[in-house]
Amino acid sequence: MDRNIEIKERLELALRSVEKSPTLEEVLKQVSTHGVLRGPEYWVFPAWIIYVEYATQKIAETF
Residue 17 scores a pLDDT above 70: no
Sorting pLDDT into bands at 50, 70 and 90, what band is 57?
A: very high
d(CA 62, CA 34): 25
Residue 22 scores a pLDDT above 80: yes
Query: What's the mean per-residue pLDDT of the chain?
Result: 86
Res 47: pLDDT: 93
Considering the chain, what percentage of its residues have pLDDT values greater than 70?
92
Res 58: pLDDT: 94
**The 3-state secondary structure of 2-62, one letter per residue:** HHHHHHHHHHHHHHCCCCCCCCHHHHHHHHHHHCCCCCCHHHHHHHHHHHHHHHHHHHHHH
Q: What is the pTM of this model?
A: 0.65
Contact (CB, 8 A) for 39 and 14: yes
CA dihedral sign of residues 32, 36, 37, 39: negative
